[in-house]
Amino acid sequence: MDILLASSNKHKKEELEELLRPYRIHLPEELGIHFECEETGTTFEENALLKALTLIEMTQGITDMPVLADDSGLIVDALPGELGVHTARFGSKDGVTVLPAAQKNMLLIKRLEGVECEKRGATFHCVLALVERNGKKTVVEGLSRGRILEQPDGIGGFGYDPVFFNNEAGCPNSALGNDKGRYSHRGKAARMMKECLDRLVQT
């Protein structure tokens, strides 16, 4: 099955294609479509469905591929409301500009300065939403629980990986390497979505 991803992010395409093999993932630009969607939802699920439904509408009559969308983020217990659906724009003064990952990581550490270890809990969320051409919607969510470190640890991964200690793996996300798909929020969501896709192609 070929699936259209509601994103222009090639890195995300490669990651999801690896996690969802043998399903093939395509970007809108491969169909000559420039995809943008204002994420106005207040939850990860709302934003994922918003992106998927927007691209479904944009590609009516162009392709029969179902559309897959992802919305992910980090929720930090000690900073309620500051990240979540705003994770990518954390620290942005205008609410639009996306700061470099290293800058966001240092800002997060600074915001938690003096917070005790047991109160530095955080959870990565990933919602994947699949919308079929008949309008059927499938939504799954993967979670990864951990805590925010007092200093970045490692250079692997991307985004907040160097400052997120993964409880299940017992190490920072930046140290997971090829095991990241096993422990990450997106890896867990992708495995659930793959089960849904397997059932879909069998019907």
What residues are annotated to the active site?
Answer: 71
**Helix, coil or strand: residue 197:** helix
**Token duo for residue 45:** 């699920």
Q: Rounded to 10 degrees, what is the CA torsion of 195, 2, 157, 169?
A: 10
Residue 119 and residue 96: Cα distance in Å, rounded?
Answer: 29
Q: Which sign, positive or negative, has the C-alpha torsion 134, 137, 138, 141?
A: positive
Half-sphere exposure of 51 (CA within 13 A, CB side): 27
